[in-house]
């Protein structure tokens, strides 16, 4: 669905913007981008950019960037850590921490950079995992563990935020 300027993003959806056009993508759907006419998001008509460069798939707890190009990489840029290169045929699910904003960069000729902005702020939080078998009667915090993979830059930010509390 194409959103109008100033429209609120419905809860449980992701906004994908390029060239002033905003697409609202609900859970379990995706939006395609590339220079081809069959893509929902049409990038610049640069023959270095694939006709179907990629898809942005929205799941209940994450967004996956799929690279559909046969030979060109995509770059995912967020406010946390360095750019991530998504090789041809690969996929990447950016961590939805902090502001839940990131850009997908498609590189063209002579330094052209097509940018697709993704706003996942309205996406619902991941569900809490079910209790472990045989854990009846124990506190919920003892039986449930959330696994989180942190990048070094995210760990440094977290350590800097916690340092004043830990050194008082």
Q: Average pLDDT per run of 10 along the chain, which is 168 residues long? A: 57 88 92 95 92 94 92 89 90 80 91 91 55 44 48 79 73
What's the pLDDT at 33?
97
Domain that holds residue 52: 2-119
Flag whether 168 is in a domain: no
Per the structure, how many domains does the chain have?
1
Flag whether 128 is in a domain: no
Q: What angle do CA 101, 65, 67 make, to 5 degrees?
A: 140
What's the pLDDT at 94?
85
Please report, for the domain that includes residue 53, its CATH number.
2.60.200.20
Where does 112-151 have alpha helices with state H?
Answer: 140-143
């Amino acid at each position: 669905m194409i959103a109008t300027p100033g429209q609120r993003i419905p809860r449980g959806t992701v906004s994908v913007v390029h060239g002033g056009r905003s697409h609202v993508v609900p859970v379990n759907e995706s939006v395609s981008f590339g220079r081809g006419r069959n893509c929902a998001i049409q990038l610049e008509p640069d023959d270095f950019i694939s006709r179907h460069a990629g898809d942005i798939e929205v799941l209940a707890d994450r967004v996956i960037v799929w690279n559909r190009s046969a030979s060109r990489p995509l770059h995912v840029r967020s406010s946390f850590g360095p750019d991530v290169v998504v090789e041809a045929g690969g996929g990447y699910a950016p961590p939805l921490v902090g502001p839940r904003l990131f850009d997908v960069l498609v590189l063209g000729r002579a330094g052209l950079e097509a940018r697709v902005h993704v706003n996942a702020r309205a996406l619902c939080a991941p569900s809490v995992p079910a209790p472990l078998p045989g854990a009846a009667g124990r506190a919920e915090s003892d039986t449930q563990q959330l696994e989180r993979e942190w990048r070094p830059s995210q760990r440094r930010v977290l350590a800097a935020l916690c340092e004043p509390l830990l050194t008082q």
